């Protein structure tokens, strides 16, 4: 495709975009169980207005846009208070991956400064940890030492202790882990980190803006935040259960001194001093303004009410899944994300049938399962989803796994013994993105 010689009219551009998005996931109708966290039309309207007002701003220069500096500072202050340490310091990032990368870089740079004997820093991570930690390990030359999880899908503290070496600079746990929605034993992991004088990072990208409000509802939430001694940093996505627009995340540190290891500064550029708190230089103001807007629009009572509705819907769906012969929920989810599997039914085939009905759900592997992230918007469609799920389960009874389509692809990837072959398949898929 070439750049058009003559530009299209505004109406033509909009019409083409409308046509292209007709095949996108139906998140407004509640049929998407991943990627989008839909809190309702009123929140969407606030986000749309915030984006419109600050679409053309740039947080690279707070002197030019002091409003963005105020928004960011207040987002961080609110988050620090929610996570149990009002004096914590942090940065706003573009998403969980950047927040995680910053935490890993900070651990590496702290080790460089204080432990020169560490030449190849290591971090201990559960097998369920988000792949962004492996990306960060690749980018920053840190070895990710993977510890298998137990039957409850939580990482065993004794296995983490056994994996420690003189090169370990950080232990990581999830609150909760993405695949199964369970919270790792954070107090035990943090105690091990404190004993060794190393950092303890909690990946709360999914749960950070949900778990505090569950606690306010009187739900039993395992300890996970800065109230746990030894926890030194937390990543949490405002654009997940904070219901902000993409991309807005925070990474917070227990002390300002620790946060300084995240920063980058270069003073010898002819263009002037250059400094940035995280990976990005230029940063669009719309996600920052949106995050600030939604936190202030909903307030504590709004978030508590959304958490109440979401958990009521989650429990309805969990009960419905458990009632379908052949399906079982994996582990004991702590919040509104979970996976379910089957020992007797083609689980990927079920996923294929659901997707054919317009539902957008994630497939998982090792073991094969389907994954749901419940939002307030699912309150209105939970009954229809369970009807379609039950029908799909009946449809695959007694039949072998699908031999074509997405279900077949996931089945192949899950069973290939050579994981490098899986990686090549995925990379080939990514390499095809520029061929329309």
List the structure tokens of 348: 């990927």
pLDDT over 60 (residue 436): no
Question: Residue 433, by phi and psi: left (phi above 0), alpha (psi -120 to 50) or beta?
Answer: alpha
Asked whether residue 43 is assigned to any structural domain, the reply reads no
List of residues 6+ apart from 177 with CB closer than 8 A:
126, 128, 129, 130, 153, 183, 184
pLDDT over 90 (residue 424): no
- Structurally, how many domains does the chain consist of? 1
Q: What value does the mean pLDDT of the chain take?
A: 91
Asked whether residue 110 is assigned to any structural domain, the reply reads yes
Asked whether residue 311 is assigned to any structural domain, the reply reads no
Residue 404 CB coordination number (10 Å): 8
Burial of 228 (0-12, 13-18, 19+ CB in 10 A): buried
Q: Tokens 């920063």 map to which residue? A: 263
Which tens digits make up the pLDDT trace of 234-264?
A: 999 999 999 999 999 999 999 999 999 999 8
Across the chain, which distance is largest between two alpha carbons, in Å?
Answer: 70
Which tens digits make up the pLDDT trace of 205-223?
A: 999 999 999 999 999 999 9
Asked whether residue 178 is assigned to any structural domain, the reply reads yes
The predicted pLDDT at position 401 comes to: 64
Asked whether residue 111 is assigned to any structural domain, the reply reads yes
Angle of helix 132-140 versus helix 96-114 axis, rounded to 10: 40
Which tens digits make up the pLDDT trace of 350-371?
A: 999 999 999 999 999 888 999 9
Is the CB of residue 130 less than 8 Å from the CB of residue 99? no
Asked whether residue 434 is assigned to any structural domain, the reply reads no
204: CATH: 3.40.640.10
Tell me the whole-structure pTM to 2 decimals.
0.89
Which tens digits make up the pLDDT trace of 92-102?
A: 999 999 999 99
Q: Which of 57-66, 161-170, 247-256, 329-338 is least confident?
A: 57-66
Asked whether residue 41 is assigned to any structural domain, the reply reads no
Domain hosting residue 93, numbered range: 49-295
pLDDT over 90 (residue 110): yes
Confidence bin at 431 (pLDDT 50/70/90): low
pLDDT over 70 (residue 403): no
Q: How far is CA 63 from the centre of its chain?
A: 31
Asked whether residue 254 is assigned to any structural domain, the reply reads yes
């Amino acid at each position: 495709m070439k750049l058009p010689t003559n530009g299209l009219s505004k109406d033509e551009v909009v019409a083409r975009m409308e046509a292209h998005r007709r095949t996108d996931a139906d998140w407004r109708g509640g049929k998407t169980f991943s990627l989008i966290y839909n809190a309702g039309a009123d929140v969407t309207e606030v986000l749309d207005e915030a984006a419109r007002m600050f679409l053309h701003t740039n947080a690279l220069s707070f002197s030019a846009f002091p409003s963005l500096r105020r928004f960011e500072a207040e987002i961080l202050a609110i988050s620090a208070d929610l996570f149990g340490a009002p004096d914590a310091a942090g940065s706003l990032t573009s998403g969980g991956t950047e927040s995680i990368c910053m935490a890993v870089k900070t651990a590496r740079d702290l080790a460089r400064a204080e432990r020169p004997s560490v030449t190849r820093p290591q971090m201990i991570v559960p097998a369920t940890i988000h792949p962004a930690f492996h990306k960060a390990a690749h980018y920053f030359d840190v070895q990710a030492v993977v510890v298998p999880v137990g039957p409850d899908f939580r990482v065993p503290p004794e296995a983490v202790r056994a994996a420690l070496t003189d090169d370990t600079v950080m232990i990581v746990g999830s609150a909760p882990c993405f695949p199964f929605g369970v919270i790792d034993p954070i107090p035990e992991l943090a105690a091990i980190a404190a004993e060794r004088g190393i950092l303890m990072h909690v990946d709360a990208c999914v749960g950070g803006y949900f778990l505090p409000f569950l606690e306010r509802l009187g739900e039993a939430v395992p300890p996970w935040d800065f109230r746990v001694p030894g926890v030194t940093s937390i990543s949490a996505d405002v654009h997940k259960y904070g219901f902000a627009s993409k991309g807005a995340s925070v990474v917070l540190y227990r002390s300002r001194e620790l946060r300084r290891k995240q920063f980058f500064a270069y003073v010898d550029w002819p263009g002037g001093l250059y400094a940035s708190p995280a990976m990005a230089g230029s940063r669009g103001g719309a996600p920052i303004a949106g995050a600030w807007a939604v936190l202030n629009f909903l307030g504590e009572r709004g978030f508590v009410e959304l958490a109440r509705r979401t958990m009521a819907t989650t429990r309805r769906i969990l009960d419905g899944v458990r009632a379908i012969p052949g399906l079982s929920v994996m582990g004991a989810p702590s919040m509104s994300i979970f996976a379910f599997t089957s020992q007797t039914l083609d689980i990927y085939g079920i996923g294929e049938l659901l997707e054919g009905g317009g539902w957008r759900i994630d497939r998982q592997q090792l073991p094969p399962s389907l994954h749901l992230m419940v939002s307030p918007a699912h309150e209105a469609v939970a009954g229809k989803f369970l009807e379609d799920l039950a029908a799909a389960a009946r449809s695959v009874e007694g039949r072998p796994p699908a031999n074509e389509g997405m279900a077949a692809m996931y089945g192949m990837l899950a069973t290939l013994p050579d994981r490098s072959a899986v990686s090549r398949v995925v990379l080939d898929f990514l390499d095809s993105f520029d061929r329309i």
